Structure 1
């Protein structure tokens, strides 16, 4: 199991099995644009 920290919001992002950290990071960043994460950046 792998995790990474979002540089924008500082949250811990889980990297699902079979995904690269880049894919998980990209999906997380897309979630910023479509959710309440917008504006949480440090």
Structure 2
């Protein structure tokens, strides 16, 4: 991805294409938000 190592160790790459549905993206956003909230409490 050609990014600095410090950034790469804390980055999440998300790939979508034309086969993804709106429902799949919405479900991902719900789950991602839950995980983000959980892991934000760790730091």
| TM-score tier after normalising by the smaller chain length | 0.3 to 0.5
Bigger Cα Rg:
2
Q: Which has the higher helix share?
A: 2
Select the structure that is richer in strand.
1
* TM-score under structure 2 length normalisation: 0.42
